[in-house]
């Protein structure tokens, strides 16, 4: 299977004052298209940093990040923004919905950057909300929805522009067990039925069970995966 994501010899350093802190050390990772990958590891292991690099939110200090055949580490800020809008859907731990907008207006946000007509945008939004089972809540503001519902709105927002890659940072970290399972089942369904490649950072081994592959990071490096785990 062709790799959708290739991370090659990636180093990421941050500066704390005058001191450089290396978060990722010469990291290599390949994720084939259509996989549901759980990135696990202790706090400070570099999971979110790796996720940010793959999602085009940050750039490596060294090395290459190739997604869908494109060297995204070479793109400018503006090019990366456009690339993200076309290819990546993001799901955050705290949903990060716009509090003043209704569920459907939140879902419509990525489509505002496309050339779709108002009618087409509405149709896409309706389809995405139906997929996450929130058609009847489309007019509600985030504070009128439960945590699980808010996260499902965030997932609808992530998929509405039909990206190939879904990047999820602790998507169940703020949810109760029942809501978490609903969200994880939804991500699994999107992976299995819609063919989305899902990369999810999680601390929760139960959440990781929904993934088809689990990648462990520790101190900025990959921990060897057991043979035959990757799907």
Partner 1 sequence: MKFLPLVWAGIWRKRGRAILTLLSIVNAFLIFGLLQGLASGIDNVAKESSAAVLMTTSKVSLIEPLPMGHAAQIRNVPGVTAVTPMVIFTGTYRTPTQYVPAIAVNVDEYLAVYPKVKASAAARQAMRETRNGALVGEGIAKSYGWKVGDTVPIKSVLWVNRDGSTTWPLKIVGILPKGASGPGVMVNYDYVDEGRSQAKGTTSFFMLKTVDPKRATQIGAAVDRLFANSPNETRTITARQMAQSQFKQIGDIALVINAIVGAIFFALLFSVGAVMAQSMRERIPELAVLKTLGFTDGGVLGLLLAETLVFCLFCAGIGLGLAEAAFPLVKQSIGFEAAAGPILFAGLGFAVALALISGLPPAVRAMRLQIVDALAGR
Which residue, 90 or 210, has its beta carbon nearer to partner 1? 90
Among 11, 33, 70, 92, binds partner 1 (CB under 8 A): 92
Distance in angstroms (rounded) separating the CA atoms of residues 211 and 119:
35
At residue 64, φ and ψ (nearest 5 deg) are -120, 140
The torsion angle over the Cα atoms of residues 22, 38, 76 and 116, rounded to 10 degrees, is -160
At residue 67, φ and ψ (nearest 5 deg) are -125, 125
Which residue, 148 or 163, has its beta carbon nearer to partner 1? 163
Taking CB under 8 A as the rule, which mask of x and - marks residues 22-61 in contact with partner 1?
Answer: ------------------------------x--x-xx---
Q: 51's torsion region: left (phi>0), alpha (psi -120 to 50) or beta?
A: alpha
Beta pairing, strands 213-218 & 19-32: unpaired
How many chain residues bind partner 1 (CB under 8 A)?
A: 26
Chain positions 158 to 217 lying near partner 1, rule: CB under 8 A, are none
CA 156 from centroid of its chain's CA atoms = 12
Among 15, 19, 43, 118, binds partner 1 (CB under 8 A): 118
Among 47, 157, 196, 216, binds partner 1 (CB under 8 A): 157
Distance in angstroms (rounded) separating the CA atoms of residues 196 and 34:
6
Give me the residue label for tokens 């290739």: 6
Among 77, 119, 224, 228, binds partner 1 (CB under 8 A): 77
Q: Which stretch binds partner 1 (CB under 8 A): 86-94, 126-134, 184-192, 196-204?
A: 86-94
Binding residues for partner 1, rule: CB under 8 A, are 52, 55, 57-58, 77-78, 81-82, 84-86, 90, 92, 96, 98-101, 105, 109-110, 112-113, 118, 121, 157
């Amino acid at each position: 299977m062709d790799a959708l994501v290739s991370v090659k010899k990636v180093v990421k350093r941050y500066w704390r004052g005058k001191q450089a802190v290396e978060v990722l050390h010469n990291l290599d990772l390949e994720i084939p298209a259509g996989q549901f990958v759980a990135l696990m590891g202790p706090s400070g292991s570099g999971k979110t940093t790796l996720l940010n690099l793959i999602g085009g939110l940050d750039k490596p200090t060294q090395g290459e990040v190739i997604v869908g055949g494109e060297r995204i580490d070479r793109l400018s800020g503006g090019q990366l923004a456009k690339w993200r809008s076309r290819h990546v859907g993001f799901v955050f731990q705290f949903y990060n919905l716009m509090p003043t907008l209704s569920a459907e207006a939140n879902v419509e946000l990525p489509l505002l950057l496309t050339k779709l007509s108002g009618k087409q945008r509405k149709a896409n939004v309706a389809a995405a909300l139906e997929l996450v089972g929130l058609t009847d809540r489309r007019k509600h503001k985030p504070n009128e929805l439960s945590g699980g519902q808010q996260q499902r709105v965030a997932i609808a927002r992530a998929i509405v522009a039909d990206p190939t890659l879904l990047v999820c940072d602790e998507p169940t970290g703020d949810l109760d067990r029942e809501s978490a399972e609903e969200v994880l089942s939804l991500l699994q369904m999107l992976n299995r039925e819609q063919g989305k490649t899902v990369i999810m950072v999680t601390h929760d081994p139960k959440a990781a069970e929904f993934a088809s592959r689990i990648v462990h990071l520790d101190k900025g490096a990959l921990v060897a995966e057991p043979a035959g785990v990757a799907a």
